[in-house]
């Protein structure tokens, strides 16, 4: 299966001019990249421009969506609006939204339901906030956090096909810090998520649902993360909007 790379621009770049330059880079390099699915998730206000510029080899996604389609929510964007812009993916439950906007797992659950209903593929973010000295994927505390997040976010949700959504394991302490998670630990955390998926949904979903890693992925380490057998790809944050770093990343993907 083709690996996925999601480029989460977060709240950058600061101007449409810079955003256009980034989209043009995606257009230029994506033509030469085989067997990897590139998903670009810029801020809402750049989505229309992205659709025009990223080229047919890249997919479009958003960084959030509201949990219903009624028009009475000032400042929010609905799944239907995203669909109309040909956005196919939507990141939900990112830890930055949980922290700064106090987004709860109940809200994330409602957003996942709304997006699935409207045919958008959620990229659901989960991950522990911190790791104490001896913590590992084998620690009770780490498993407890992971399984609680999954239980809450997927409460009452039935997934029909493994391709309906993506899970992103993003340890919060690795986001924007340059401290990426150890490859063996990523593998083990993905195994835990698959174990949970098998019990909650089915063996088929556990085996085939794409699970990706995010947290300080850059041009230097992306290839080793992509080589992980268990992982379906990566979620790139900060490096997505730095022209040089982005170009280096995309160059690494050309075989
Ligand atoms: P960084 O790649 O900047 O660590 O961000 C990861 C992330 O939050 C992607 O969603």
For the stretch 187-241, pLDDT in tens is: 999 999 999 999 999 999 999 999 999 999 999 999 999 999 999 999 999 999 9
- At 136, is the pLDDT very low, low, confident or very high (cuts 50, 70, 90)? confident
Radius of gyration of the CA atoms of the chain, in A: 17
What are the backbone dihedrals phi and psi of residue 107, each rounded to the nearest 5 degrees, phi first? -65, -40
Q: CA separation (Å) from 198 to 159, 162, 205?
A: 12, 11, 7
The answer to whether 102 and 91 are in contact (CB under 8 A) is: no
**Beta-carbon contacts of residue 140 (< 8 Å; ≥ 6 apart):** none
Give the pLDDT score at 144: 94
The pTM of this model reads 0.97
Q: Establish whether 100 is a catalytic residue.
A: no
Q: Identify the residue whose C-alpha is closest to ligand 1 atom 7.
A: 237
Checking if the pLDDT of 118 tops 90, the result is yes
Q: CA separation (Å) from 211 to 72, 138, 255?
A: 34, 19, 23
List the Cα angle 36/65/68 in 5-degree steps: 135
127 lines ligand 1 (CB under 6 A): no
Domain count, the chain: 1
- Cα(202) to ligand 1 centroid in Å equals 30
Mean pLDDT for 28-39 is 96
Catalytic residue among 76, 94, 96, 185: 94
- At 114, is the pLDDT very low, low, confident or very high (cuts 50, 70, 90)? very high
> What is the number of other CB atoms lying within 10 angstroms of the CB of residue 116?
18
Mean pLDDT for 112-122 is 97
Mean pLDDT for 148-155 is 98
- At 133, is the pLDDT very low, low, confident or very high (cuts 50, 70, 90)? confident
Catalytic residue among 103, 128, 170, 185: 170
- At 180, is the pLDDT very low, low, confident or very high (cuts 50, 70, 90)? confident
Ligand 1 atom closest to Cα of residue 180: 4
CA atoms within 13 A on the CB side of 209: 30
Distance CA 225, CA 202 (A): 26
176 lines ligand 1 (CB under 6 A): yes
Mean pLDDT for 8-13 is 98
Ligand 1 atom closest to Cα of residue 125: 10
Q: Report the chain's terminal Cα–Cα distance, integer Å.
A: 17
Give the pLDDT score at 87: 97
Mean pLDDT for 8-35 is 97
For the stretch 51-85, pLDDT in tens is: 999 999 999 999 999 998 888 999 999 999 999 99
170 lines ligand 1 (CB under 6 A): yes
Q: Establish whether 170 is a catalytic residue.
A: yes
**Beta-carbon contacts of residue 161 (< 8 Å; ≥ 6 apart):** 205
CA-closest candidate to residue 231, choices 179, 176, 194:
194
Could you tell me the residue range of the domain that residue 135 belongs to?
3-252
Mean pLDDT for 150-168 is 96
Checking if the pLDDT of 255 tops 80, the result is no
Ligand 1 atom closest to Cα of residue 238: 3
Distance CA 18, CA 16 (A): 5
Tell which one of 5, 8, 94, 179 to mutate to probe ligand 1, the residue whose CB is within 8 A of the most ligand atoms.
8
What CATH number does residue 160 fall under?
3.20.20.70
Residue 89: strand pairing partners:
61, 121
Give the pLDDT score at 181: 86
246 lines ligand 1 (CB under 6 A): no
Give, to the nearest 10 degrees, the angle between helix 140-153 and helix 105-117. 50
Ligand 1 atom closest to Cα of residue 217: 2
240 lines ligand 1 (CB under 6 A): no
Distance CA 165, CA 112 (A): 9
Give the pLDDT score at 66: 97
175 lines ligand 1 (CB under 6 A): yes
């Amino acid at each position: 299966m083709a690996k996925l790379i999601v480029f989460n621009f977060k709240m950058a770049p600061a101007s449409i001019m810079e955003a256009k330059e980034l989209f043009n880079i995606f257009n230029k390099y994506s033509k030469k990249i085989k067997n990897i699915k590139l998903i670009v998730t810029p801020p809402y206000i750049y989505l229309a421009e992205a659709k025009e510029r990223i080229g047919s080899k890249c997919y479009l996604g958003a960084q959030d969506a509201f949990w219903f389609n009624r028009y009475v929510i000032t400042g929010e964007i609905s799944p239907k609006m995203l669909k109309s812009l040909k956005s196919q993916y939507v990141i939900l439950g990112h830890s930055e939204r949980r922290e700064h906007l106090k987004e709860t797992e109940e809200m994330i659950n409602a957003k996942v339901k709304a997006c699935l209903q409207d045919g958008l593929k959620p990229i659901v973010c989960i991950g522990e906030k911190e790791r104490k000295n001896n913590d590992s994927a084998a620690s009770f505390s780490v498993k407890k956090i992971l399984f609680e997040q999954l239980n809450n976010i997927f409460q009452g949700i039935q997934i029909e096909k493994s391709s309906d959504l993506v899970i992103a394991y993003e340890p919060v302490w690795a986001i924007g810090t340059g401290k990426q998670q150890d490859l063996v630990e990523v593998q083990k955390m993905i195994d835990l998520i698959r174990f949970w998926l098998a019990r909650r949904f089915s063996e088929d979903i556990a085996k085939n649902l794409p699970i990706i890693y995010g947290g300080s992925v850059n041009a230097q380490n992306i290839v080793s993360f992509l080589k992980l057998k268990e992982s379906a790809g990566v979620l790139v944050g900060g490096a997505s909007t730095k022209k040089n770093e982005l170009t280096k990343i995309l160059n690494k993907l050309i075989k």
